């Protein structure tokens, strides 16, 4: 932890809005606002107000569903629990509520707290971004800083249309909340693309250091690639060539796959797992969320998965006995795949035995020790049982390589896709594919590589897998590809129209 604190002290000041004291510093509250926001200190304060929303503001929010990932009951849980990769079952000893199971069984309601939390968080992010852009533009601030704020706003709108489709849209905070117009998914998609294209080359190309956890041009091109990757879902028109071009721009950033070599000093046995540890390696990580326990954000995912006595025996604190990996998902991994080491099943320290079979995830619920556990985010820097210091990778170069592969397959050139899929497989200790990849090969490899990183629901929808039956439910209706507009938002703005299939 000491190394991390030394390396990223500057990032803490920037991202956490901490006050850094210097008796010789200028007193900025005596500056006119226009002058202040044109200074590096002023622009950084505005950008920090936006960035602080991505992990959630530690002291303010208490992790009540706020943030992209790291905590619970927010964007990450809404998207990931709806996929086939994870679920928190209700336990037959009375632990854990049933809303996570409802998401996994595609039975969520417009009144769900997790949906409400996600909606409110994203619109708070957009409000902060709008305010920052207004002040920066009014102050004639550095163009790269305005571009960074606009890129952040585009990122948040991308998350909104991915989850909710047609949503309220505004770029100035001068309109009353109950009068914000609901705009089509396609129109907002066009706005996102234009904002990213107009601003990406104004962003810094610096990786790491002061840009650790910030949008540089490589992160912005990755978002643009993601938007193009899902363009057919959003607009009905595929953009595979455009996605491929954006991915190729990311490749100009000099990223490589992090080593997958054996490492006896790593608790999971391979350097690969450094990607999910205390500090995100900058050779592969494009954008990550900074986390350190009780200071800025936290990462609950390893802690949340482990049963209490098991975590107590290994870490000295009790685990939450929450998230499991559905059996069908776990069984897809080859035994010699180093990525299978993240999963725990069978006998564990503390007299615990995780069973492979889970009979129920809602009523009567799962046995306390039922279900495969996941320690991909093997708790780092833990001082309490409330979370860990693992930084969270929003985007990695492995994802970009698999996007390149997918675009090539969809464009009828699977031979060009094969080297990119093979790179990912061989890093994981597997052989190269025997033949050119199919779309199913790409889909499966994305599942093996990117599980628990927030991409699975989107991938399942794009590959037409999201509605298929699984071990806990039957086939889902088509309207479940979108989440509902939350009831609270409908009540606040009577002009909003609910997504099809849900009650108004």
Helix 217-229 to helix 143-164 angle (10° resolution) is 30
In a domain, 377, yes or no: no
Mean pLDDT, the chain, rounded, equals 92
- Of 371, 389, 372, the closest CA to residue 380 belongs to 389
For the chain, percent of residues with pLDDT exceeding 90: 85
CA–CA separation, 201 and 199 (whole Å): 6
- For the cut 60, the answer to whether the pLDDT of residue 142 exceeds it is yes
Residues in the chain: 504
Question: 32: pLDDT confidence band, cut at 50, 70 and 90?
Answer: low
Lowest model confidence (mean pLDDT) among 32-46, 70-84, 108-122: 32-46
Q: Is it the case that residue 28 has pLDDT exceeding 50?
A: no
Q: How confident is the model at residue 18 (pLDDT cuts 50, 70, 90)?
A: very low
Could you write out the three-class secondary structure of 348-360? ECCCEEEECCCCC
Range of the domain at 75: 2-14+28-290+393-492
The mean per-residue pLDDT over the stretch 67-92 comes to: 96
Lowest mean pLDDT among 116-120, 180-184, 293-297: 293-297
Residue 427 lies in a domain: yes
What mean pLDDT is predicted for residues 30-49? 84
In a domain, 213, yes or no: yes
Rounded Cα–Cα distance for residues 55 and 296 (Å): 8
188: helix, coil or strand? Answer: helix
- Percent above pLDDT 70 for the chain: 91
If residue 393 lies in a helix (H) or strand (E), which one and from where to where?
A: strand 392-396
What pLDDT shows up at residue 296? 67
Tokens of 250: 């990311």
Residue 395: which of 250, 240, 252, 234 has the closest Cα? 250
Q: What integer pLDDT is reported at residue 432 of this predicted model?
A: 98
Task: Find where tokens 């190394």 sit.
Answer: 3
Q: What is the pTM of this model?
A: 0.93
Task: For residue 228, give every residue at least 6 positions away whose Cβ sits within 8 Å of its Cβ, in sequence order, or none.
Answer: 193, 239, 240, 242, 243, 246
For residue 331, being part of any structural domain is answered with: no
| 362 lies in some domain | no
User: What is the dihedral sign for C-alpha 187, 192, 195, 201?
Assistant: negative
Note the pLDDT of residue 15: 42
Examine the pLDDT at 76 and tell me if it is beyond 60: yes
Which pLDDT value is given to residue 384? 75
Q: What is the pLDDT of residue 385?
A: 82
Beta bridge partners of 324: 87
Q: Is residue 417 part of a domain?
A: yes
Q: What is the DSSP letter of 172?
A: S
Give how many domains the chain has, as a whole number. Answer: 1
Q: How large is the average pLDDT for residues 394-422?
A: 98
Within a domain: residue 379? no
What is the b/e burial string over 183-205, where b = at least 16 CB atoms within 10 angstroms of the residue's CB? Answer: bebbebbebbbebbeebbebbbe
> 387, 397, 427, 114: which is closest to 259 by C-alpha?
427
Residue 7: Cβ within 10 Å count: 13
What tens digit of pLDDT does each residue of 417-463 get?
999 999 999 999 999 999 999 999 999 999 999 999 999 999 999 99
Could you tell me the CATH number of the domain that includes residue 205?
Answer: 1.25.40.390
Domain assignment present for 303: no
Distance between CA atoms of residues 55 and 40, nearest Å? 23
Q: Three-state SS for 438?
A: coil
> Is the link from the previous residue into 364 a cis peptide, with omega within 30 of 0?
yes
Task: Give yes or no for residue 6 having a pLDDT over 80.
Answer: no
Higher-scoring residue by pLDDT: 10, 471: 471
CB count in 10 Å sphere of residue 146: 22
SS percent in the chain: helix, strand, coil, step 5? 45, 10, 45
Question: 273 near 339, Cβ under 8 Å?
Answer: no
Structure confidence at residue 340 as a pLDDT band (50, 70, 90): very high
Q: Over the stretch 179-234, which tens digit does the pLDDT of each residue have?
A: 999 999 999 999 999 999 999 999 999 998 889 999 999 999 999 999 999 999 99
**Residue environment code for 84-113, b if the CB has 16+ CB neighbours within 10 A, otherwise e:** bbbbbbbbeeebbebbbbbbbbbebebebe
Q: Which pLDDT tens digit goes with each residue over 345-370?
A: 999 999 999 999 999 999 999 999 99
């Amino acid at each position: 932890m000491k190394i991390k604190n030394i390396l990223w002290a500057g990032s803490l000041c920037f991202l956490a809005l901490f006050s850094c004291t210097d008796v010789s510093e200028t007193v900025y509250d005596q500056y006119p606002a226009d002058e202040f926001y044109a200074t590096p200190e002023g622009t950084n304060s505005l950008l920090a107000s936006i960035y602080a929303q991505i992990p959630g503001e530690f002291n303010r929010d208490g992790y009540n569903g706020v943030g992209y990932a790291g905590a619970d009951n927010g964007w990450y849980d809404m998207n990931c629990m709806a996929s086939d990769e994870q679920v928190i079952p209700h336990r037959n000893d009375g632990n854990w509520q049933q809303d996570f199971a409802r998401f996994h069984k595609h039975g969520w309601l417009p009144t769900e707290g997790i949906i409400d939390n996600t909606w409110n968080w994203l619109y708070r992010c957009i409000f902060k971004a709008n305010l920052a852009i207004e002040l920066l533009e009014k102050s004639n601030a550095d163009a790269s800083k305005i571009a960074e704020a606009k890129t952040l706003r585009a990122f948040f709108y991308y998350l909104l249309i991915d989850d909710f489709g047609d949503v309220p849209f505004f770029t100035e905070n001068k309109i009353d909340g109950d009068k914000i117009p609901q705009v089509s998914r396609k129109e907002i998609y066009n706005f996102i693309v234009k904002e990213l294209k107009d601003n990406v080359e104004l962003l810094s190309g610096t990786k790491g250091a002061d840009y650790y956890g910030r949008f540089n041009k490589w992160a912005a091109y990755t978002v643009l690639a993601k938007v193009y990757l899902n363009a057919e879902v959003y607009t009905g028109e595929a953009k595979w060539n455009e996605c491929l071009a954006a991915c190729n721009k990311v490749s100009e950033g000099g990223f490589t796959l992090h080593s997958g070599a054996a490492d006896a000093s790593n608790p999971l046995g391979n350097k690969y797992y450094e990607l999910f540890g205390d500090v995100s390696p900058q050779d592969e990580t494009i954008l990550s969320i900074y986390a350190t326990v009780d200071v800025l954000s936290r990462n609950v995912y390893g802690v949340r998965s482990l049963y209490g006595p098991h975590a107590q025996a290994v870490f000295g604190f009790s685990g939450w006995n929450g998230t499991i990996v559905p059996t069908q998902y776990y069984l897809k991994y080859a035994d010699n795949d180093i990525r299978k080491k993240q999963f725990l099943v069978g006998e564990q320290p503390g007299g615990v035995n995780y069973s492979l079979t889970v009979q129920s995830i809602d009523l009567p619920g799962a046995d306390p020790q039922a279900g495969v556990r996941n320690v991909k985010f093997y708790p780092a820097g833990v001082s309490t049982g409330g979370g860990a210091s693992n930084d969270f990778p929003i985007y990695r170069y492995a994802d970009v390589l698999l996007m390149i592969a997918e675009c090539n397959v969809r464009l009828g050139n699977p031979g060009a896709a094969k080297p990119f899929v093979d790179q990912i497989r061989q890093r994981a200790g597997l052989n190269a594919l025997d033949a050119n990849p199919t779309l199913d090969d790409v889909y499966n490899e994305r599942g093996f590589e990117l599980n628990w990183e927030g991409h699975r629901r989107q991938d399942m929808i794009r590959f037409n897998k999201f509605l298929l039956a699984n071990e806990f439910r039957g086939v889902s209706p088509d309207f479940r590809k979108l989440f509902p507009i939350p009831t609270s938002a409908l009540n606040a703005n009577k002009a909003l129209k609910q997504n099809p299939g849900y009650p108004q």
